[in-house]
Amino acid sequence: MGSMTRQDGKDKPLSARRLPESDLREVAEALGPNLGGLGDARILLSGGTGFLGRWLLESWMLARKEERLFGELLVLTREPLRWAGLLACPGLSFVGGDQTDFVFPKGAFDLVIHGAFEHGDARTTFWNNLLGCRRMLDFARQAHASRFLLLSSGAVYGNQTMDRAPEAWPGTVDPLDPRQAYGSAKRASEAMGAAFQADGGPAFTSARGFAFLGPGLPLDKNYAIGNFIRDALQGGPLRIQGDGTPRRSYLYASDAAAWFWALLARGEGAVNVGSPEALSILQVAEKVRDTLAPGAAIQVAGNPVLGAPPSRYVPDTTRAEALGLHPLVGLEEGLRRTAAWYTTEEGA
């Protein structure tokens, strides 16, 4: 992400740009019901320099600046000096290290958010993600943290066989399928977090994230909506690598960050984080085209298999709704905001 440049041709690395303040203010304002658990907390965050982690980090900074929060945030990163130079705020500090073997920061902490993850070959993906979660849980216990939030994934369900996956559904993950190593690692991490809680560790909550969009989303990675936004900003065509039938839903990043803060403060067990509004990948491409590049062509590489059910990656959000969590930014608005961040000076 750090090597990627803006779509308007200017060469400022996206990792050096601030997220939109108006969006961050929406997150900060949503903290209201959660300030009792977050107000003066000392928090350790891993994965704080990734896509979703940046939304947590920068929304915390804005809330701290506006005196909604008064605590401390320590961010675990492999490049602490670089990020300390980009992002500065009272109460914010960066500690160097990898999730699997970092040196524990000194002192007591109230809350821990584990958002770091690793994708690679099957062995690396499974083992490093599991070791990272174990290390963070060990730290949380030593630091006497009262709550632990794992940024998990809808991949824990495996191949979805229903319209919307509820948290109580055991899923279809095959532990012998290397292609499902990430989902297997997240399932094992959740089991480990529950075991730590049962053994006197911090209260454990798993935020099972689905698909997201927003400023900071890579446009050159394996994210369909990011690729469509890139294609649209270049005038098209929008390219669909498959047959366009898989069903997906997208939650805007400011909504996701607000949900994560709420789950850190008062969540229990596993809670899906995502939009319940499903669209086919072809419909997503059409929505991107109509919003950002009217008239652009859409190219579909594959042909649907007659009678084959479409793959699905869509959450049931009943538990989130019971906590008062609902999507506030619709897909079209989210697309406009994301495109604006890539094509204007906002946040520079």
Give the model confidence (pLDDT) of 316-336 as tens digits: 999 999 999 999 999 999 999
Angstrom distance (rounded) from CA 221 to CA 226: 8
Continuous segment of H or E residues that includes residue 53: helix 51-65
Mean pLDDT of 186-193: 98
Collect all residues with Cβ–Cβ distance below 8 Å to 222 and sequence separation of at least 6.
Answer: none
Predicted confidence (pLDDT) at residue 1 exceeds the cutoff of 70? no
d(CA 144, CA 202): 8
Three-state SS at 269 = strand
Report the percentage of the chain scoring pLDDT > 70. Answer: 95
Q: Is the pLDDT of residue 11 over 60?
A: no
Q: Where are the domains of the chain?
A: 14-216+251-276+309-329
Rounded Cα distance between 66 and 39, Å, is: 12
Residue tagged 């705020």 (tokens): 89
Confidence of residue 181 (pLDDT cuts 50, 70, 90): very high
Q: Whole-model pTM?
A: 0.94
- Residues paired with residue 247 on neighbouring β-strands, in sequence order: 280, 312
Q: Report, as an integer, the average pLDDT of 159-174.
A: 96
- Residue type, position 111, single letter: L
pLDDT of residue 306: 86
- C-alpha span between 61 and 255 (Å, rounded): 17
Question: pLDDT exceeding 90 applies to what percent of the chain?
Answer: 89
Rounded Cα distance between 208 and 95, Å, is 26
- Give the C-alpha separation, 58 to 343, whole Å: 20
| pLDDT over 70 (residue 8) | no
CATH superfamily of 14-216+251-276+309-329: NAD(P)-binding Rossmann-like Domain (3.40.50.720)
Q: Report helix, strand and coil shares of the chain as percent, to nearest 5.
A: 40, 15, 45
Question: What is the number of residues in the chain?
Answer: 348
Mean pLDDT of 137-160: 98
Q: What is the pLDDT of residue 14?
A: 60
Mean of pLDDT values over 282-297: 98
> What pLDDT was estimated at residue 13?
57
What per-residue confidence (pLDDT) applies to 283?
Answer: 98
pLDDT band (50, 70, 90) for residue 305: confident
Average pLDDT, the chain: 93
| The two three-digit tokens of residue 323, written as one number | 């906590």
pLDDT at 192 over 50: yes
* pLDDT > 70? residue 182: yes
